[in-house]
Amino acid sequence: MSNNSSSAEDLTTKSDSHASDEQNLIAQNLRASHKILEALSQSKEETELIIDRLHEMFFIIDHSGHVLKANLSASRIFGIPEEKWLRFDFATLFTSEIRKIFWSKLNEVDQDDWDANSVINFELPIKIGNVTQDYHWSINKLSSRSRDGKHLFSIVASDITEIRQLERQLSQIFSAVPLGIFILDEEGYIVGPYSAFTRHIFGLHNLEQNSVFKILFEDNVENLTPVQRDGVAEMKLCIGEEEMWFQFAKERFPKEVKFERGGDILYLGTQFHAIAKEGKVTNILVVISDITEVVKMRMENMDENKQLQKKVRYYMCIEKAPVTTLESIMQDYPRYEKQLYHGIATTNIKDIKFALHSIKSLFRAVDINNLTEMIHGWEINLEDNMMSSQELDAFLHVIGKNLAGEWREISGMITLALDNHSIDPKETDRLAEQKTDTYNLLETLNLKADLKEQIVNSIEKIGFHRCKDLEEFLKSYAEKTATNLYKDVDIIFDWKDITYSPHLEHFFRESFMHLITNVIDHGLPEKEKAKERGKINVKAWSDGRKINLRIEDNGLGFDLLKIHSKAIQMNVTDKPLTDLSEEEVLKFLLLPSFSTKEVATIHSGRGVGLSTIHERVIELGGEGLRIYNHENGAGFEFSIKNFEEVAA
């Protein structure tokens, strides 16, 4: 009995203990829940406090546009007490037009496929009192819903009126400053606002849709120097790299660009500055100025300097030229000029080419190289003539106009030089009187005919020029020509005391220059291929009242097969080479425009020089130019009358 009583007491004690444990656990849970609620309540209060302290306006609205929550900033800005915001119609804050735009943005966020983590941002003005202000709006769809299961939305509105005012002021400054100012991304597109002058410079309305790299550089590549092209390539590579590399490469960026806009040529000054973030170049700030007038003035000054330098070169060449050469130029140029203008008037290309070649030889005789090269360029254009008749007329007009201008300057300088070296007219008259007296005296003397002729010839040669006086000029000319053609040459003269009539001065110089050039260019091999140093032998001798000249080289000789092939090509013969003598083949070289060179150079290749000499020899009483091969090379020879008039 006692055992049963003890067991019952134990069960009662255990039951009471278990109930007590459950109550303790419940109490602990209640205390924990209370703490959680207190923490949530405190968190909510802190969140609301943070929201109320926001400088921006904050709203929570339902899908119908009724306000469920507004912060203190909204109350302060609109002057609506906090308790009046509940169920306030948010749309009434906007005008009718702005309301439509806002509602379309809200509906966009309210779509089921809208990402809850995404925020839509836009700008809309609102009218507060009598003042319209610019605001930036952000709408976010909340995860919680209203009682009817519709979405709720949070809205943040930031006043950007001051920012926009500053931007407008900056835009006004941009408009007033004649500079193109803009920022480029890595593709060369403009990022953000840019100055109004930028649009004016490029002449484009859709500037934002065009890469400035492409407009300014890639489409303008023909106006960029190789250094500028490399600089542009480096500029692109600098974006995304360390700012230090930008500063190094900046020295090679274009500082001045020639730019074509609507048919007008502009010159733009360019400056480039790195915009960096954390030491890396993210964008490039570009400043462009229109420096067209400055560049034009600079170019005019450069042109003036070039003209001055050209005149100085002309003067120096003329000053050191022999008087006889200058006299010859003044005598011969009018004849060639007349032939040139007649050729231009009648579009006779053959006459024009002949006149230009002869004029070029005049200027080459006094070493005026820049004018010689200009005429050479004209010859090439006429040789390769692919111009229409209208283009040809315009080109010939340019030749005539430019050459007339150059001759005015040169002839003026030559006239001045000749005045400084002129012989006293009284001395000339005295010499003429002495010649006349001598002739009269001879008529009274009973002399043998051959002796009388010798005396007359001697009298005629008073005032003649020595061939020897040509040596220095011809040696210098030969050396310069050989150097330009990568050849070595020695020129040897054998003419002792041979003299020639003054009227032959230019012909001698012209002929020697043509023949020496032909020998060096065609006859002598280049240094690497030559078995021995090139040699030119020049010989002159007198035969009664004629002067004979010969030029021979130790070169390759004339290639008969090559000459014959060219003759076949030019349709000047249809005979096989075996049916022609060497003399007949070599005479092809005397035909106008005949040359074995495929490409004409400033030295030779147009087939004008030899034909010109041949015709002039005949004009001067000779039988023409003889061309021949000899055992060790090739040669030229001719004879001409060595007087201008036969004495009575």
What's the N-to-C CA distance of the chain in angstroms? 192
435 contacts: CB under 8 Å, gap ≥ 6: 459, 462
Nearest Cα residue to 496 out of 554, 548, 552 = 548
Six token digits for residue 399: 């030749």
Q: What is the mean pLDDT of the chain?
A: 81
As a whole number, mean pLDDT of residues 531-549 equals 88
Distance CA 394, CA 387 (A): 10
pLDDT for residue 16 is more than 70 = no
Whether pLDDT at 581 is above 90? yes
pLDDT in tens, 596-631: 776 555 555 555 678 888 988 998 889 999 999 998
Structure tokens at 307: 């003209």
Say whether pLDDT at 648 is over 50. Answer: no
pLDDT tier for residue 493 given thresholds of 50, 70 and 90: very high
Q: What percent of the chain has pLDDT over 90?
A: 20
What is the C-alpha to C-alpha distance for residues 520 and 482, in angstroms, rounded to an integer? 6
DSSP state, 242? B
pLDDT tens-digit readout, 109-151: 888 788 877 889 999 999 888 888 999 999 998 888 888 888 8
Asked whether the beta carbons of 464 and 500 are under 8 A apart, the reply is yes
Domains and CATH numbers, the chain: 54-159 (3.30.450.20), 165-290 (3.30.450.20), 310-422 (1.20.120), 463-641 (3.30.565.10)
Q: What is the pTM of this model?
A: 0.48
- Residue 319's pLDDT band (boundaries 50, 70, 90)? confident
Q: Would the CA dihedral through 274, 276, 280, 284 be positive or negative?
A: negative
Q: Which residue has the higher pLDDT, 18 or 306?
A: 306
pLDDT digits (tens, 9 = 90+) for 183-233: 888 888 887 777 778 888 888 777 777 788 888 888 777 877 888 888 888
Stretch 540-547: mean pLDDT, rounded? 84
Answer whether residue 646 shows pLDDT above 50: no
pLDDT confidence band for 536 (50 / 70 / 90): very high
Query: Which residues are 183's β-sheet partners?
Result: 191, 285
Tokens in use for 277? Answer: 């973030």
- For 86, 120, 605, 607, the CA distances from 598, given in Å and listed in that order, are 98, 74, 7, 11
CB 69 within 8 A of CB 60: yes
